[in-house]
Every structure is written in C-alpha cells, then in structure tokens.
Amino acid sequence: MYNFCTLFDKNYLYKGLALYNSLKRHSGDFKLFILCMDDITYNLLHKMTLEDVELISLKEFEDSALLQAKTTRTWAEYCWTCTASLMMFLFKNYPALEMITYLDADLYFFHDPKPFFDELNNNSILITESNLSQEYRRLLIYGKYSVQFNIFRNNEEGLKALEWWRKKTINWCYSRRRGKNMQGGDQIYLNDWPSKFKGVHVLRNKKLCLTPLNINKYHIFLQDNTIYVEDIKLIFYHFHSFEMHSLNKFTLADGAYLISRDAYEIIYKPYLEEIQAIFRNVKQIDPTYCYGFVKRKIKKILIYYIKKIFYSVYRWKINQKISC
C-alpha cells in the first residue's frame, strides 16, 4: 500500500483533485493525506467524501513554530515551509506509517508509481533531480533537486533528514536573495543530501517523470494508450506553472518553456479535460465556488511573450553551437 501526502488551498483545489483522480486510476491500494490550507478547501473536500483520503486541517496541523514563520512569509513561501513539517506531523500522529511520499499538488499520474519504489529499494529517502534542459540551467540557483516527489521511511535516517529540513525551512524559506545565492524555497536545502545523510537515493531513471523544464529533451509518443518517453513509460508529469483563466482558457506553462504539439496532445489535453470535468463536479456540489482561476493582467501577458521570444532565440543559439 502506498501512503501519499500533499497540500493545497482553494486556488489549487482543481489541480489537487486531478492528482487524486490520477492516483485512483493508476496507484492501486493507497491512502492520500491532504493538508487543507484553508477552511474552504477542507469543507468542500469533506462534502465530497473521497475514498482513500484523510483530510488534515490547518488548525490541527500548525504548531507555534509554524505560526510564527507564517507571519514572515508570502502564502507561497508558507506552503513551501509546510512540506517537511507535514511529513513529520504524519509520522508523529500515524506511527504505524512505515513510509510517506510527498507529492506536489500539480502532479498528474499516467502510470503506476511502482518503479520509484523499486529504485528506492532498501534506501531511506528518494529524491529527484531537476533534470533541466540546457536553456534552463541558470535555474539551478533554485536547487539541484526538485521537491515534487519525495519518499521518506519512518526510520532513523529518514527522520533525521526530515527534522533537519523542518528546522531549516522554519528558519528560512523564501524566494529571495540570501547572500550570493538565490534561496529557492524549500528545495535548495536538498542540494547536499546525498553526502549529508545516509540512505539517500537520487532517482536514476529520469524519464519516469517530466516537467516543462525538461520535456523538450525527449521524444514522447503514445502507444497502446500508454505514454512513452523514448523507451520508458511516463509515470507522472509535473504541470509546473500551469494556470487556469476560465473553464476554457488556460496557460499551459510559463512563456520560457517549450511545449510541443505532441506534448499538448498527449500530456496536456487529457489534463485539461480532467480539470474541466472536476470543475463541473465541484459546481454541482457547491454552485458558489469561484476559486482557482488566475486573471491575466496586461503586464503578465507581456512578460509571457517576452520570455517566449527570448528563450526561442536562446534555444536557436544553443542549437547553432551544437550543429557547429
């Protein structure tokens, strides 16, 4: 049995439910612990009575250290601050848990996650590299590893890393400069884990999970209703920077990222259809629900297209150097 956890608020609810639906299709026997980052989310999910889900309210989760940190963070920064604390909370309150896997709420599974656990084997912790395409290498200042899918065992090695991570994120978890380096939220702290802690395994098979930051590195195709990344089945996709503007209007990803027609048809289109179906279901449960949509301001639209042009030129220059 898989034990997963995630966290999201009312503006990420559609994405969180899409994650849940994808787990129901592909993960077999599992439990998903959801930290509801506001009462609106908790109350709506409680009405939905989702199978294999355990809801956690902010009231029961937050301790004095988190509440103090909350006063100094933006909302996004506070959500990052809660990642390690959520897993520590679960191990403390559910001591029978042998293992917990943290999932970002904007992940979506296309296949059984078993290969991740096979790679973990007898290790205590599994982390995934950011695996950036060449044009995004500058983003390594935000961390070598990605906090998107992390497995921790409830043992000495797993708890030691979690306790250290929680203390660090409570002390400092911002998206701002810290000295000469850019502080990348919670994931910057994972940079030296393979040498700092015992039992840390870095995912070797990078094709199992893709994001907009690396999808253009690979050939993807659909065969027998299964998505392949070259010779490997895609397990999950991280819909980083995906935004909904209305039921039928979306921004697939930040303007910096290249999303091909194949990627749209094979990966994004099923996700869009899932989101739309969830929206209609939520409206049946609560017709007044009006969260989750991002207004497109003129400044943001301009930045999107500036990035699109800049990175198109940058990619062209990279390809020219390679061809030479």
Res 93: pLDDT: 98
Separation CA 82–CA 35 (nearest Å)? 9
Res 73: pLDDT: 94
Domain boundaries 2-293, corresponding CATH code = 3.90.550.10
Res 221: pLDDT: 97
CA dihedral 254, 257, 262, 264 (to 10 degrees): -10
pLDDT tens across the length of the chain (324 residues): 999 999 999 999 999 999 999 999 999 999 999 999 999 999 999 999 999 999 999 999 999 999 999 999 999 999 999 999 999 999 999 999 999 999 999 999 999 999 999 999 999 999 999 999 999 998 888 899 999 999 999 999 999 999 999 999 999 999 866 555 555 689 999 999 999 999 999 999 999 999 999 999 999 999 999 999 999 999 999 999 999 999 999 999 999 999 999 999 999 999 999 999 999 999 999 999 999 999 989 999 999 999 999 999 988 887 777 665
Res 185: pLDDT: 85
Res 200: pLDDT: 98
- Give Cβ neighbours of residue 182 (< 8 Å, ≥ 6 apart): 141, 142, 176
Res 178: pLDDT: 58
Local structure of 279: helix, strand or coil: helix
Separation CA 230–CA 234 (nearest Å)? 9
| Torsion-angle region of 121 (φ positive above 0: left; ψ -120 to 50: alpha; else: beta) | left
The rounded radius of gyration (Å) of the Cα atoms in the chain is 19
| The token pair that represents 254 in the structure block | 């930040």
Separation CA 17–CA 53 (nearest Å)? 11
Which pTM was predicted? 0.96
Res 316: pLDDT: 84
Domain boundaries, the chain: 2-293, 296-324
